[in-house]
Structure 1
Amino acid sequence: MRDWLRHHPDVRTIRVAAADLNGQARGKRIPVRFADKIVEEGTRFPFSVMNLDIWGEDIEDSPLVFDSGDADGVLKPTERGFLPMPWLEAPTALLPIWMFHEDGSPFAGDPRHALARVVEQFHERGMFPVCATELEFYLIDDSGRELRVPPSPRSGKRRPGADTLALRALDAFDRFFTDLYDCCEVMDIDADTAISEAGPGQFEVNLLHSADVLKIADDTWFFKMLVRGLARRHGFAASFMAKPYEDWPGNGMHMHFSVTDGAGKNLFDDGTHGGSHLLHQAVAGCLKAMPGTTLLLAPHYNSYDRFEPGAHAPTGIAWAYENRTAAVRIPSGSLKARRIEHRVAGGDINPYLMMAGVLGAALIGIEDGLTPPAPISGNAYELDLPQMPTTWQDAIDTFESSPEMKRIFAPQLIENLVRTKRQELRYMAEMTPTEVLDLYLDTV
């Protein structure tokens, strides 16, 4: 880690940051001369900071606050080490951290530890998940009363309509995307294809598959920070909010994953189009746990505005081969690349919790030898399918009582997240639509 700073003598300050339950970066700004101390000793802040609501406020009934004296945890650097923050004006380094107890044991309420725990359970069984994410976001001019597409820096014109898979939509913001890919390169984020999506000013960027699950979760978290920060440098906003426009599609976050053995063989591939029994078991686990995981896939008030029939956001619990209306899709292509695409999550997720929930559900299906129902064909929106929770309240309650979630997550994390969401639910009832938009646009 110190070598990185020696190779970047222009860095003037350090940000140390951990992801809280909402995926918000919580941490400190530190002069670079104190870098050695941070690397060797870590830093400290209260356990309760990992369990703040979306406004950054304490959870009123949390045992982490006054009941425990608001005690400190120890935050240590993750294995990722330093990386640049190229969206800031001054040369700055980010040092990702995660939380531990004084005795060195992981803090169960830290979402990154929750994902690490699931990954370790796979490894203990000689299986190794390989994951990728696809992130949708809008570029937005939020300088006026109503949200609009930013004017193109090339032409000065605004394109008011959708332009799916249009090169001209990408070219209109070529300077932004060129900077974005350059920044991903220096941050070691493996960004792949970019496309224009179905909403005006909406785009999707894919992050490449990685056998390092924590790295792809980190990259997804870093990418969201980067896109939002870089957009502001270009004079507009970028938002991963689930549904920023009432009349246009929401932002999704699709997760692809397969499972390999110790030699790197894809265990979802048995040489047939249908895929292996292990693939089917993983699908069955994802479907069985989907009601419980809904809160992780749709964690905010606005998330539920995205679930509309026919809007490319699955609402029924089903799977299919090469069918984008299904919640769980098995893409076509090379059998060696056989994988699951989980299509439910919005762009507003915490990637650590979302990936822990999906992978944990797949592992339950594998461990229990579950068999999925028959894959569907045709339009899933027109079929009589079991449905996910349709309201935030129902999703919170289902997450709390779900037997699958109790197998995946530590009791403390479940309790903390439920308390957080119930407090947000109470406060959100008093907010106007404009206030909700202002809250989520730059936050999630």
Structure 2
Amino acid sequence: MTPEPVDKANPSTVTYALAGNEPAEFIEAFIVDINGIARGKRVPMTALDRLYEKGLCLPASTALLDIWGGEVEDTGLVLETGDADHICWPILDKVWPQPWSQRSGGQLLMQMHANDGAPFAGDPRVVLNTVLERLNARGLHPVIAIELEFRLLEAELDSTGVPTPAKASTGLGQPSQLYGLEELERLDPVFADIQQACSAQGLPIDTLIAEQSEGQYEINLEHVDDAMQAADQALLLKRTIKACAHQHGLAASFMAKPFGMSAGNGMHVHISVLDDNQDNVFSKDSEPTECLMQSVAGLLNTMADATALFAPHANSYRRFQAGSHVPMAPSWGWDNRTTALRLPLATPAATRIEHRVAGADANPYLVLAAVLAGIEHGLDHGVLPSLETHGNAYDQHAPSLPDDWSVALARFEQSAFITDYIGATYQSWFAACKRQERDQLKCEVPTSEYAAYLQTV
């Protein structure tokens, strides 16, 4: 019999995120897998109490599927275990509405547990929580804001199998206008539905902007003083944007580099850290602190080891191109968007680090785990960073972050830093999942190679 977690929520206290929502007809109960994809089951609303009383059974391998939803034998969690179930428990006494559903639906985020009742090491939420506990033990509490870039595309691929930016995204024959307000007006029905759906779920979205490339936009979440909640909100925001786009006959994509010659989609993370007195440890008497500099150093020193988490797919590495506002080397600077770590100009209370490496295709839980681990590593070792970069970082720092998937995976697998913070078990599972994805893609020949080589060599 599977033990129940001590902090299991009470079904009698379950509420919606906001008052006034109609009772749901069904619940989508799900965990988050290694790729940041929601996986679970749809159950009738009448089964809600059962989910809180008995949990939801899913194979342990569900948390570690490849990008196509295939099982990964090399994790040792499939045939070797009989593909055994683990039990998943709701993480909160709250059901988020699912405003885009034709019928009234709810979303219930869950966390997987091992057979001894302990949180399952393969759940990304558990990975993030392990790092958070180390910071909390220091009396430190991160404040997080996540920015997500994405593309709005036509729902159907063109005749050559290539996506097309949403036709309504720009004026006829015009390029995209960075920060252009008309760009937003043209797709206002989509953005209005996204905003309403976020409001219904209690997702604190802040600004919406038109980005550099055709059909590219960015939505920012407001800062929250709970890193796990920040990751949950990023997950729910991605679901919301995709669902609302679909309702309007479009597709939303967080793919890192859908078009090779235009800007990629990033996930920028803003981090400040509070002490037990709720004071920002990155600033004192209106001056940056040693704690801030040590955190910067820790992030710089561990960035290459964690690149496989920031860039987890084959396409992720197409984003790393000089001059594209994507970091090519560990660097930092005040209000400098060419560096990997930007320290925005802000009031002392809002002094923070903007981490600019991750793609929008990355798992937000694993990105935050790597970022916060880098900060704790810097504090633990008391190191200080290299000199600040002024001006164009691309001209001053030779590319040194892994820009090849196999190199990044090898660095990740051999990293003592990753073993220490992420754990050897998850380190090996992640590598196994990504190797399977890599090896399958190696077997597929892109049309560009036929054009280049078929009749020329």
Shorter chain as normaliser: what TM range? over 0.9
Give 5+ residue unaligned stretches, structure 2: 1-10, 449-457
- Tell me whether 1:378 sits opposite 2:394 in the alignment: no
1:137 maps to 150
Contact 1:149 1:159 in 2 (8 A): no
- Tell me whether 1:294 sits opposite 2:307 in the alignment: yes
AA paired with 2:25? R
Q: How does 1:89-168 map to 2 (within 5 A)?
A: 89-145=102-158, 146-152=162-168, 158=172, 160-168=174-182
Specify the SS of the correspondent of 1:254: strand
Distance 1:279 1:97, change over 3 A: same
AA paired with 2:277? A
Encode CA deviations 1:48-68: one digit per residue, 9 max, x unaligned. 111110011111222111112
Contact 1:77 1:98 in 2 (8 A): yes
AA paired with 2:100? W
AA paired with 2:196? D
AA paired with 1:246? G
Give 5+ residue unaligned stretches, structure 1: 436-444
Specify the SS of the correspondent of 1:152: helix
AA paired with 2:124? P
AA paired with 2:164? R
Partners of 1:431 and 1:139 lie apart in 2 by 26
1:254 maps to 268
Specify the SS of the correspondent of 2:176: coil
Q: Please report how far the alpha carbon of residue 202 of structure 1 lies from its aligned counterpart in structure 2 after TM superposition.
A: 0.7
1:387 maps to 400
Partners of 2:435 and 2:238 lie apart in 1 by 25
Distance 1:45 1:383, change over 3 A: same
Larger CA deviation: 261-270 vs 136-145: 136-145
Contact 2:178 2:210 in 1 (8 A): yes
Larger CA deviation: 406-415 vs 254-263: 406-415
AA paired with 2:432? R
Distance 1:427 1:337, change over 3 A: same
2:297 pairs, out of 270, 273, 284, with: 284
Contact 2:176 2:215 in 1 (8 A): yes
Contact 2:25 2:44 in 1 (8 A): yes
Q: Please report how far the alpha carbon of residue 7 of structure 1 lies from its aligned counterpart in structure 2 after TM superposition.
A: 6.1
Specify the SS of the correspondent of 1:291: coil
Partners of 2:349 and 2:296 lie apart in 1 by 18
Specify the SS of the correspondent of 1:381: helix
2:95 pairs, out of 78, 82, 87, with: 82
1:24 maps to 37
Contact 1:131 1:257 in 2 (8 A): yes
Encode CA deviations 1:229-267: one digit per residue, 9 max, x unaligned. 110001111111000112210001100001101121000
Contact 2:323 2:394 in 1 (8 A): yes
Partners of 1:334 and 1:142 lie apart in 2 by 43
Encode CA deviations 1:310-329: one digit per residue, 9 max, x unaligned. 01111111111110000011
Specify the SS of the correspondent of 1:74: strand
- Tell me whether 1:266 sits opposite 2:277 in the alignment: no
1:4 pairs, out of 15, 23, 26, with: 15
2:327 maps to 314
Partners of 2:20 and 2:425 lie apart in 1 by 41
Encode CA deviations 1:374-409: one digit per residue, 9 max, x unaligned. 111111111134611110001111111111111111
1:33 maps to 46
2:80 pairs, out of 51, 60, 67, with: 67
AA paired with 1:260? L
Partners of 1:352 and 1:230 lie apart in 2 by 23
AA paired with 2:15? W
Contact 1:149 1:160 in 2 (8 A): no
Larger CA deviation: 396-405 vs 140-149: 140-149
Q: How does 1:344-423 map to 2 (within 5 A)?
A: 344-385=357-398, 387-423=400-436
Specify the SS of the correspondent of 2:295: helix
Encode CA deviations 1:181-219: one digit per residue, 9 max, x unaligned. 111111111100111000011111110111011111000
2:451 maps to none
AA paired with 1:148? T
AA paired with 1:120? E
Moved beyond 6 Å, runs of 4+: none
Q: Please report how far the alpha carbon of residue 346 of structure 1 lies from its aligned counterpart in structure 2 after TM superposition.
A: 0.5
AA paired with 1:174? D
Identity across matched positions, percent: 38
Q: Please report how far the alpha carbon of residue 8 of structure 1 lies from its aligned counterpart in structure 2 after TM superposition.
A: 4.5
Q: How does 1:184-333 map to 2 (within 5 A)?
A: 184-273=198-287, 275-333=288-346
Contact 2:176 2:183 in 1 (8 A): no
Partners of 1:323 and 1:151 lie apart in 2 by 33
Q: Root-mean-square deviation (CA), in Å?
A: 1.8
AA paired with 2:108? L
